[in-house]
C-alpha cells in the first residue's frame, strides 16, 4: 500500500494560517451535559410516524445549529472563531488561525445556505445572515483582515484551505444569487483569483479531488477561464476510485467517507454543473450513486443510528447525506420513506442527546459528548459543522416524495425477520454489513492495516479502525493501559505493554464466514487466523493462534456504558462452559468460552467510553504457550435487550466443534441441527 507524501497530507494547513494575536475570551469547554437539546415543535407523526420530522423540522435543525455558531458573532466584522476544546485538536497552542476561521465561515454555510435560499432576509441575533457572509467573503481577500487568505504560491501544496474553498464553492453553487451576484466586479475578481489559486493546483489522492473540481466548476460556470484539463484529470481519477456497490476507495481506507463523501459530492456536482457541461462524467457519477440504496441503508440501525466507525466521526449525521440526494438519481423503486427515516433518525441520534451541544452552544468534538480518543489532529472546533452537509438535502423540492411519502422502516419491517441474521458482503471493498433484527442493530467489518509507527496522523491505526467489528448499538470503547479491551485482541508485547491488533489482511467471505489474518505490529511471531460467524443474537468467533512465542492475550466483547446505576454482572456455567453476563438496564452482553480460554472476567473502566465516564466489558484471557498445533479460541459474544431471559440454548447454541488432523478445518455443529465449516486456507 502506498502512502501519501507528508507534504500533501491532511494537516498541512497547520502551517498556512496567519496567527491572531488575541485569543478568544471564551473559557474551555465544559464536558457536563447541557439539557437544552433540539426540540421538535409540532412533530408530524402522521407523515413521519417514527421520528415526527418533516422538511420544516430539518430547517429548524439547521437554524438551531446556526444559532449556536452565531452566538459568537456580534458585528459583521467578527470572524467565526470558537473556543478550543481541550485536547489534540488544533490550534494546539490555543492561538487561532485564519484557516480555523475559514473553517467556521465555510462550514456553517452548509446550514445557512439552504435557509437563505428560501429566506434571503434571514436574521440571527439581530444580524442579516446573508450580509454577514458576503461581508466575510470580501474580507478573505483583504490583507488587513485577520481572516485574509493569501493566494497559493506557485509551488504551494495542498492544504486545509483547499478543503474549505471546495466547501465554499458548493455553497456558491447553491445560492449564487445571495452570495455571489451582489458582489462588485472587483470583489468577484479578487475572490476568484484566491479560490482558483487553490482549485487550480495540487490535491490529495482521495475525496479531496472534489474540492478542486467544485472550485474550478463554479468559476467556469461564472465565465472564468479555468484549467479544464486538470479538472478532467481529477474527475477521471475520482471515478477510478470506484470499487462497486456504491463504495469508493479513499486512499487507503474504507470508512464513511468512502460512501458519503463521494456519494454527496458526485451527485451534487452532476446536479450543479456536470449534466450541463460534462454529461458523460455526470452520468457515470450518477450510475455509481444508484447503487448506494442497495447496501448503505443497511449500515444504519433500525432507528437510524449510525455506527461509530472511522475517522472524523465528529461530523456525525453527515453520514446520512446521500439519502435525500437520491431524489436526483430518480431511480425507480427507491424507498424514499425509509431514506428519510434513516436521515432524520441519524440527526435525532445526536440533536436530542444532552451531551451533543456543550454549554458554550457548540457541538463537541467527539461522538455524543467530548471524546478525545475519537478526535483527529486535523480538526478544530468549527470542524464539526461539516455535519451541515446533510442540509444540502433541502435542495430537494418540498413536493418530492423524499419529503411527502410516509416514513417507514424499510427492510426492517418485513425483509429482516426476528430470529435471523443478515449479511451483505461488498466484493469490491470487502466490507461486510450485518443486520440483527432481534435488537434492530447494524454492524460492519472493514479495512484496517496501518502501523502506529507510520501513522503520523494518529488515527488509522487506532480504535477508529482496528476493532474486529463495529455495531450501531454498542459504540466502541478505547483501549486501556491495563489491558482493558473491547471488540479486539490485545497481547503483552516485549515492552510489557498491551498492544492491540491492527494489521489485518482480508482472506475471503465464504458460506457466511468472514476470514481475516492478523499479525501483531511489533512481532511477526504473534499472529492469528480469524473467522467471524454472525448469529441472530451475536457472534461466534473461531480463531487460531499461530504464534510462536509465549504471551498474555486478552479478547474483549463490546463494552456497555453505565446508564442508570451500576452495571450488573452475573456468572453461569452452561453445558460445562463458563458464561459472563453484564447488564446496564438497556442491553445485556454475554460472553461464553467454548475452547481455548483460561478465564473470563468483567473489567470496569473509567474515561474510555464515549457515552459514559464509567463502563464495563467482558474479557477472555489466556497465558499462551506455543505448541505443536495452533491453539483454537472459540468464543461466543452475545447480546439481548435488558429484561429478556437467557435460555441455555441461547447462551450455548453450539453443540460441538470438531477439528480435522491438519488443524485447518473445523466443523461447528449447532443444537438446532445445522453446521458451519470453517476452512483456514
Domain shared by 406 and 540, yes or no: no
Final residue of a structural domain among 413, 433, 461: 413
DSSP 8-state secondary structure symbol assigned to residue 85:
P
Full-model pTM:
0.94
In which residue are the cell numbers 474527475 written?
235
- Does residue 438 sit in helix, strand or coil? coil
The pLDDT confidence band at residue 29, using thresholds 50, 70 and 90, is very low
Read off the pLDDT of residues 520-538 as tens digits, 9 standing for 90 and up. Answer: 999 999 999 999 999 999 9
Residues in contact with 427: Cβ distance below 8 Å, sequence separation at least 6, in sequence order: 244, 245
Amino acid 27: pLDDT: 31
Q: Is there a domain that residue 13 lies in?
A: no
The pLDDT confidence band at residue 50, using thresholds 50, 70 and 90, is very high
Domain with residue 173: its CATH number is: 1.50.10
Q: How many beta carbons lie within 10 A of that of residue 220, not counting itself? A: 17
Domain shared by 550 and 453, yes or no: yes
In sequence order, what DSSP letters do the residues of 305-360 get, joined into one string?
PPP--SS-GGGGGGGGTHHHHHHHHT-TT--HHHHHHHHHHHHHHHHT-TTTB-TT
* Residue 127 predicted with pLDDT over 70: yes
Per-residue buried b or exposed e for 338-352, using 16+ beta carbons within 10 Å of the residue's own CB = bbbbbbbbbbbbbbe
Virtual torsion, Cα 522, 524, 528, 532, nearest 10 deg: 60
In sequence order, what DSSP letters do the residues of 624-639 get, joined into one string?
E---SSPEEEEEEEEE
The pLDDT confidence band at residue 491, using thresholds 50, 70 and 90, is very high
Domain shared by 97 and 235, yes or no: yes
Q: Is there a domain that residue 26 lies in?
A: no
Domain shared by 332 and 478, yes or no: no
β-bridge pairing 432-436 and 441-445: antiparallel
Comparing CA positions, the residue from 373, 367, 351 lying closest to residue 316 is 367
Amino acid 593: pLDDT: 98
Q: Is there a domain that residue 164 lies in?
A: yes
Q: Is there a domain that residue 678 lies in?
A: no
Residues in contact with 552: Cβ distance below 8 Å, sequence separation at least 6, in sequence order: 483, 491, 492, 621, 622, 623, 624
High-pLDDT (> 70) share of the chain, %: 95
Amino acid 373: pLDDT: 94
Cβ 207 vs Cβ 170: under 8 Å: no
Whole-Å CA distances, 473 to 289, 426, 435, 442, 561:
27, 22, 11, 8, 11
Residue 332 burial (C-beta neighbours within 10 Å; 0-12, 13-18, 19+): exposed
Domain shared by 151 and 242, yes or no: yes
High-pLDDT (> 90) share of the chain, %: 91
Q: Is there a domain that residue 213 lies in?
A: yes
The pLDDT confidence band at residue 14, using thresholds 50, 70 and 90, is very low
Q: In the predicted model, what is the mean pLDDT of the chain?
A: 94
Q: CB-side exposure of 37: number of CA atoms within 13 Å?
A: 15
Q: Is there a domain that residue 445 lies in?
A: yes
Per-residue buried b or exposed e for 627-660, using 16+ beta carbons within 10 Å of the residue's own CB = eeebbbbbbbbbbbeeeeebeeebbbbbeebebe
Domain shared by 437 and 302, yes or no: no
Final residue of a structural domain among 392, 413, 434: 413
Domain shared by 442 and 398, yes or no: no
The pLDDT confidence band at residue 28, using thresholds 50, 70 and 90, is very low
* Residue 21 predicted with pLDDT over 80: no
Read off the pLDDT of residues 600-643 as tens digits, 9 standing for 90 and up. Answer: 999 999 999 999 999 999 999 999 999 988 999 999 999 999 99
The pLDDT confidence band at residue 26, using thresholds 50, 70 and 90, is very low
* Residue 557 predicted with pLDDT over 50: yes
Q: Is there a domain that residue 4 lies in?
A: no
The pLDDT confidence band at residue 3, using thresholds 50, 70 and 90, is very low
How far apart are the C-alpha atoms of 342 and 241, rounded to whole Å?
Answer: 26
Which three cell numbers, joined as nine digits, stand for 169? 464553492
DSSP 8-state secondary structure symbol assigned to residue 258:
I
Final residue of a structural domain among 381, 413, 445: 413
Cβ 372 vs Cβ 438: under 8 Å: no
Read off the pLDDT of residues 269-324 as tens digits, 9 standing for 90 and up. Answer: 999 999 999 999 999 999 999 999 999 999 999 999 999 999 999 999 999 999 99
Amino acid 31: pLDDT: 42
Domain shared by 429 and 335, yes or no: no
Backbone phi, psi, residue 441, to 5°: -110, 155
Q: Is there a domain that residue 5 lies in?
A: no
How far apart are the C-alpha atoms of 426 and 360, rounded to whole Å?
Answer: 42
Note if the bond before 488 is cis, omega within 30 degrees. no
* Residue 32 predicted with pLDDT over 70: no
Measure the CA angle with vertex 661, ends 658 and 665; round to 5°.
55
The pLDDT confidence band at residue 35, using thresholds 50, 70 and 90, is low
* Residue 34 predicted with pLDDT over 80: no
Domain shared by 339 and 359, yes or no: yes
Domain with residue 429: its CATH number is: 2.70.98
Overall number of domains in the chain = 2
Domain shared by 369 and 507, yes or no: no
How far apart are the C-alpha atoms of 470 and 477, rounded to whole Å?
Answer: 10
Read off the pLDDT of residues 80-114 as tens digits, 9 standing for 90 and up. Answer: 999 999 999 999 898 999 999 999 999 999 999 99
Domain shared by 212 and 326, yes or no: yes
Read off the pLDDT of residues 334-359 as tens digits, 9 standing for 90 and up. Answer: 999 999 999 999 999 999 999 999 99
How far apart are the C-alpha atoms of 379 and 464, rounded to whole Å?
Answer: 15
Residue 672 burial (C-beta neighbours within 10 Å; 0-12, 13-18, 19+): exposed
Structural domain boundaries enclosing 448: 422-654
Domain shared by 131 and 175, yes or no: yes
Q: How many beta carbons lie within 10 A of that of residue 618, not counting itself? A: 25
How far apart are the C-alpha atoms of 355 and 352, rounded to whole Å?
Answer: 9
Comparing CA positions, the residue from 207, 138, 132 lying closest to residue 170 is 207
Amino acid at each position: 500500500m502506498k502512502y501519501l507524501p507528508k507534504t500533501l497530507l491532511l494537516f498541512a494547513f497547520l502551517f498556512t494560517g496567519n496567527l491572531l494575536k488575541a485569543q478568544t475570551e471564551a473559557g474551555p469547554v465544559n464536558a457536563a451535559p447541557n439539557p437544552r437539546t433540539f426540540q421538535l415543535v409540532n412533530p408530524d407523526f402522521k407523515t413521519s410516524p417514527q421520528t415526527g420530522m418533516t422538511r420544516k423540522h430539518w430547517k429548524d435543525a439547521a437554524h438551531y445549529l446556526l444559532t449556536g455558531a452565531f452566538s459568537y458573532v456580534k458585528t459583521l466584522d467578527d470572524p467565526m472563531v470558537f473556543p478550543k476544546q481541550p485536547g489534540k485538536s488544533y490550534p494546539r497552542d490555543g492561538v487561532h488561525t485564519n484557516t480555523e476561521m475559514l473553517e467556521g465561515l465555510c462550514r456553517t454555510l452548509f446550514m445557512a445556505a439552504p435557509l437563505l435560499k428560501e429566506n434571503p432576509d434571514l436574521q440571527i441575533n439581530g444580524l442579516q445572515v446573508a450580509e454577514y457572509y458576503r461581508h466575510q467573503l470580501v474580507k478573505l481577500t483583504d490583507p488587513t483582515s485577520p481572516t485574509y487568505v493569501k493566494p497559493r504560491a506557485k509551488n504551494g501544496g495542498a492544504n486545509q484551505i483547499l478543503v474549505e474553498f471546495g466547501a465554499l464553492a458548493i455553497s456558491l453553487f447553491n445560492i449564487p444569487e445571495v452570495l455571489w451576484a451582489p458582489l462588485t466586479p472587483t470583489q468577484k475578481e479578487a475572490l476568484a483569483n484566491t479560490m482558483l489559486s487553490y482549485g487550480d493546483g495540487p490535491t490529495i489522492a482521495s475525496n479531496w479531488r472534489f474540492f478542486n473540481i467544485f472550485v474550478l466548476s463554479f468559476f467556469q460556470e461564472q465565465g472564468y477561464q479555468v484549467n479544464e484539463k486538470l479538472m478532467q484529470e481529477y474527475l477521471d481519477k475520482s471515478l477510478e476510485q470506484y470499487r462497486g456497490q456504491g463504495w469508493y476507495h479513499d486512499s487507503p481506507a474504507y470508512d464513511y467517507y468512502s460512501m458519503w463523501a463521494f456519494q454527496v459530492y458526485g451527485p451534487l456536482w452532476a446536479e450543479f454543473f456536470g449534466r450541463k457541461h460534462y454529461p458523460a462524467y455526470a452520468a457515470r457519477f450518477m450510475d455509481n450513486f444508484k447503487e448506494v440504496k442497495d447496501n448503505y441503508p443497511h449500515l444504519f440501525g433500525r432507528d437510524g443510528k449510525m455506527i461509530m466507525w472511522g475517522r472524523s466521526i465528529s461530523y456525525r449525521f453527515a453520514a446520512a447525506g446521500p439519502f435525500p440526494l437520491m431524489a436526483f438519481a430518480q431511480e425507480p423503486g427507491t424507498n424514499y420513506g425509509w431514506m428519510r427515516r434513516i436521515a432524520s433518525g441519524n440527526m435525532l441520534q445526536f440533536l436530542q442527546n444532552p451531551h451533543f451541544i456543550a454549554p458554550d452552544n457548540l457541538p463537541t468534538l467527539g461522538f455524543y459528548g467530548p471524546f478525545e480518543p475519537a478526535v483527529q489532529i486535523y480538526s478544530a472546533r468549527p470542524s464539526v459543522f461539516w455535519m451541515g452537509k446533510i442540509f444540502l438535502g433541502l435542495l430537494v423540492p418540498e413536493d418530492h416524495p423524499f419529503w411527502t411519502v410516509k416514513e417507514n422502516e424499510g427492510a426492517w419491517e418485513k425483509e429482516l425477520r426476528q430470529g435471523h441474521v443478515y449479511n451483505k458482503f461488498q466484493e469490491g471493498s470487502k466490507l461486510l454489513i450485518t443486520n440483527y433484527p432481534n435488537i434492530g442493530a447494524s454492524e460492519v467489518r472493514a479495512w484496517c492495516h496501518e502501523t502506529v509507527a507510520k501513522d503520523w496522523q494518529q488515527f488509522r491505526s487506532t480504535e477508529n479502525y482496528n476493532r474486529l467489528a463495529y455495531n450501531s448499538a454498542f459504540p466502541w470503547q478505547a483501549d486501556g493501559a491495563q489491558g482493558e479491551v473491547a471488540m479486539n485482541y490485545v497481547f503483552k508485547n516485549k515492552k510489557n505493554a498491551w498492544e492491540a491488533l491492527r494489521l489485518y489482511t482480508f482472506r475471503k467471505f465464504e458460506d457466511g464466514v468472514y476470514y481475516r489474518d492478523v499479525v501483531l505490529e511489533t512481532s511477526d511471531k504473534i499472529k492469528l487466523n480469524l473467522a467471524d460467524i454472525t448469529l441472530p443474537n451475536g457472534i461466534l468467533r473461531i480463531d487460531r493462534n499461530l504464534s510462536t512465542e509465549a504471551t498474555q492475550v486478552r479478547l474483549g466483547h463490546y463494552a456497555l456504558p453505565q446508564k442508570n446505576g451500576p452495571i450488573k454482572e452475573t456468572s453461569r456455567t452452561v453445558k460445562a462452559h463458563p458464561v459472563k453476563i453484564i447488564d446496564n438496564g438497556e442491553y445485556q452482553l454475554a460472553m461464553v468460552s467454548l475452547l481455548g480460554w483460561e478465564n473470563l472476567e468483567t473489567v470496569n473502566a473509567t474515561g474510555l467510553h464515549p457515552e459514559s465516564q464509567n463502563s464495563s466489558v467482558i474479557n477472555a484471557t489466556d497465558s499462551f504457550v506455543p505448541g505443536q498445533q495452533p491453539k483454537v479460541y472459540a468464543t461466543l459474544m452475545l447480546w439481548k435487550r435488558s429484561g429478556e431471559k437467557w435460555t441455555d440454548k441461547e447462551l450455548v447454541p453450539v453443540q460441538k466443534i470438531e477439528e480435522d488432523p491438519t488443524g485447518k478445518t473445523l466443523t461447528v455443529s449447532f443444537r438446532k441441527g445445522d453446521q458451519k465449516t470453517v476452512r483456514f486456507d
